[in-house]
Amino acid sequence: MLKNKKKYVLKIIKIFKSNPLEFVCPLKFSSPFELLVAVVLSAQCTDKRVNKITKNLFKRYKNIKDYANADIFELESYIISSGFFRNKAKNIIESAKLIISLYNGIVPNTMFELLKLPGVARKTANVVLSFAFNVIEGIVVDTHVIRIANLLHLTEHVNPVKIEKDLMNIVPRIHWKIFSFYIQNLGRTICKAKNPNHIICPLNKICHLKN
């Protein structure tokens, strides 16, 4: 069963590579901490909305010390449209203070250290490691990956940690970053939750849902 899934994944990757995409992070940032902030804001919020928020946010708070010293109510006013803004503002400020006290103001580049930060789970850590440091310790599992990995029968779980473990077992490590990137893009543009377009989907010949 595992062997068959590995072969299936290689087919998927081959198809993805035949349809090249511009391989860039959808979140705009100019430093590792700005990326961390953007990913924290992206929980239950679209990348498009986050980029709109951070356009003004990053002008107001220019470095990690600005966030550490931020008035929480002012910070909340900048990120309110991201949803769950109170928890996000609290986590951003506490993360800034922790990074300053533990890591001399430098965002750590290991999964172990990033997971110590408030509000940072594996998805957030994987994005920061991948796009800020080009360090690959796992597979980014967001809502698109959760849904499409299940549609493709690559996992039977809904828990992101369990899904990541399943994918790491069948996706060659060299492809961890690109696999997640392509799945996310597929979910945003073609295999949408409410109206998937099977006709133009690059995976329509091997997808279990093809009509």
Give the list of residues 6+ apart from residue 209 with CB closer than 8 angstroms, or none. 151, 196, 198
Q: Which of 113, 115, 118, 132 is nearest to 177 (CA)?
A: 132
Is the distance from CB of 9 to CB of 170 less than 8 angstroms?
A: yes
Composition of the chain by helix, strand, coil, percent to 5: 60, 0, 40
Backbone angles phi, psi at 79, to 5 degrees: -115, 10
Whether 123 is catalytic is yes
From 142, 165, 166, 210, the catalytic residue: 142
From 5, 47, 88, 123, the catalytic residue: 123
Q: Which residues does the annotation mark as catalytic?
A: 123, 142
